[in-house]
Structure 1
């Protein structure tokens, strides 16, 4: 990065604070992104202020988070958790208080980096007041969500209109994968020259391989046969039901494999169908299929624990029917495990079919079962794919690399060079578009 002075960045993320990773409700991929990108930018000498909503009376107004990074908790609505889709009505108050904080403290930012559509709306207000460039990442697109979730989509009705506004106001848009770039250019009519692909990534020191037996001992798993792992949210669109159905077919067609399905996730540390209703649905399915001795629910685990669960499995499976990007496949790959994933969204980009695992159609337990059997039957193939997976992540999907590419984009935005063609960008990067 070539800057005479390191920029000061207003990082806006209304519902996803990095502090929530310490055990807060609804912490997910956006929280990880905000945390890792800001930390790595701070380590590069860039000053980052993360504006997020104050959701706890115990949270300080301003919190030093890491080198060069502060979290600024902005009052808006009750000082407690509010479901993400209910935050839209609080955004005028959030924006007003954010702007007041900046004015009161006489802060001069060089650039805005906003996350998700609601923060994008707030960012447009700061952009016009301060006359500074705005970079935005949506993390998920409303039109795509509505297409895949239909009546289950609980987004505010204004979402797509606001997304259209944000897309037009931003100087650059970050897409996490090629499919997201297509959504922006085809569904929202964005000029391809202002959409830059910078994939999200994984912390390769936190997510690292360890021996399978050592990992099972570490997590207290006493199972001598193969283990199929799933790590992630347990909600309908993740379609864990598809994995359960595939497991039944594996056991029916190849009973000598003797596999166990380990499901890691949920809203509580101990599996609770009241807190995570989808667990109750899965438990009923498992009982009906006679799989109660072949499936274990682990519950929610913190990021620092997850490497042991990934490493305890022989392979990881994730087959959502809709996934904007998906960090768990990368985490599994960083732990040296092959991944069988749906050929959708970011998974189709991060998993290299036939090299680091397999891509399968969503909602196809037959195809999934066949790929599971193939990997469990071939130790050499499984080990080779796991090694390839770790190599691919180290080469292409580290947070250090994502932050460096983000910093390069800051330079372009600050120098007003808004004419990057996508073909030129691909020449600058060594990402594998396949």
Structure 2
């Protein structure tokens, strides 16, 4: 069976399990957007024999390079797509794929796969992360795609409910969560990095992710400031990049807690387990907005696989991963006092950290491991191809 998977970029944690099914299928991975930076670039280079990056045509490149045009709503429809011209359509027909998987039910890439279906025997799957009925200005495109697509793969129940609200039949939606390698991410990893960072005697609170407003890192720093008043033997480790980085550094300086906060650049995926190894508590304080809420929270299953307790906000799909009072604590988004209270509770009780970490590991093994999820992806591909 020949399979083509199209993405604007391939996060390593998404591609790794897909690579593992390559023994069962002939899979071509296509990148449909040049918006790839940092750790993604490094990963693409490591896997360039598996990944085909599609070029932009001149007209589309002109639009992408013109910031004032790109900001106009109608032109942002191409941001997840390789070109205004039907490149994907031609690729699908030329290579006679059996199954094609694209991303989101409002992209031009998905629309091209639906059109290709009319001229070939290809079966279409859409990976749908989006869990808000948005954007309204693509309603007509969504309507056609929802009607004609053979199957939808969703990583969360919030994404499934979104599709149902848009009129997609329940039987077309396949709930298959993201997954993690529980052999690489485990509770017995070496903590060498702690010595390197000079924090061997500290309790480490960890945040990994983008430094953008909707991730709520500002609230985490303010909560951490409160916690420090009671316990100075703690450190906040913030790993990632984003437009808010300087603002967050300035906030730490203003609150006079910079000596207890370490900012690290985004870490390549093949080393991210080393970061999880040195943490004691992982925090994801996401803030839902009108147009976004947490679509999964992959860092959570990495941390839980490593036996770490979680403190996270009730945003989007997070409550589907973290069981409140069992594998961690859920707090109201933006509630600094509650965030500080739950983190403090875990800091003061090592047995509670161990207990929640153990239950988190067990939950990942049962619901989010390669062993559980990869067979479900295979089953979907086989079933859709008859």
TM-score interval, normalised by the smaller of the two chains: 0.7 to 0.9
CA RMSD between the two structures: 3.0
CA–CA distance in structure 2, aligned partners of residues 385 and 90 of structure 1:
38
Match runs of 1:132-171 below 5 Å: 132-141=122-131, 143=133, 158-171=137-150
Which of 102, 106, 117 is the matching residue for 1:114? 102
CA–CA distance in structure 2, aligned partners of residues 220 and 292 of structure 1:
15
Distance change in 2, residues 1:166/1:221 (3 Å) = farther
Partner of 1:426: none
Which of 320, 324, 335 is the matching residue for 2:286? 320
Partner of 2:38: none
CA–CA distance in structure 2, aligned partners of residues 237 and 348 of structure 1:
17
Partner of 2:315: 344
Q: What is the deviation of 1:16?
A: 1.0
Question: Are 1:240 and 2:217 an aligned pair?
Answer: yes
Is the contact between residue 154 and residue 160 of structure 2 (CA under 8 Å) also seen in structure 1? yes
Distance change in 2, residues 1:141/1:395 (3 Å) = closer
CA–CA distance in structure 2, aligned partners of residues 344 and 198 of structure 1:
19
Aligned length: 361
Cα-to-partner distance string for 1:356-403 (whole Å, 9 max, x where unaligned) = 111111111111111111111111110111122222212211234322
Distance change in 2, residues 1:198/1:334 (3 Å) = same
Q: What is the deviation of 1:277?
A: 2.7
Which of 180, 193, 201 is the matching residue for 1:202? 180
Question: Are 1:16 and 2:9 an aligned pair?
Answer: yes
Partner of 1:422: none
TM-score, normalised by the number of residues in structure 2: 0.84
CA–CA distance in structure 1, aligned partners of residues 47 and 278 of structure 2:
32
Give 5+ residue unaligned stretches, structure 2: 36-40, 288-292
Is the contact between residue 311 and residue 336 of structure 1 (CA under 8 Å) also seen in structure 2? no
CA–CA distance in structure 2, aligned partners of residues 129 and 191 of structure 1:
24
Distance change in 2, residues 1:330/1:91 (3 Å) = closer
Is the contact between residue 216 and residue 308 of structure 1 (CA under 8 Å) also seen in structure 2? no
Partner of 1:391: 362
Is the contact between residue 212 and residue 313 of structure 1 (CA under 8 Å) also seen in structure 2? no
Partner of 1:178: 157
Cα-to-partner distance string for 1:293-342 (whole Å, 9 max, x where unaligned) = 22111111111211121121110000112211121111111121111111
Cα-to-partner distance string for 1:138-157 (whole Å, 9 max, x where unaligned) = 2224635x6xxxxxxxxxx7
CA–CA distance in structure 2, aligned partners of residues 90 and 180 of structure 1:
18
Cα-to-partner distance string for 1:262-291 (whole Å, 9 max, x where unaligned) = 10111xxxxxxxxx3301111222222221
Which of 116, 125, 150 is the matching residue for 1:126? 116
TM-score, normalised by the number of residues in structure 1: 0.75
Match runs of 1:282-321 below 5 Å: 282-321=248-287
Give 5+ residue unaligned stretches, structure 1: 1-6, 18-27, 147-156, 267-275, 416-434
Q: Secondary structure at the match of 1:112?
A: strand
Q: Secondary structure at the match of 2:171?
A: helix
Partner of 2:290: none
Q: Secondary structure at the match of 2:324?
A: coil
Which of 13, 24, 44 is the matching residue for 1:32? 13
Which of 404, 420, 431 is the matching residue for 2:375? 404
Q: Secondary structure at the match of 2:125?
A: strand
Which of 77, 82, 87 is the matching residue for 2:57? 77
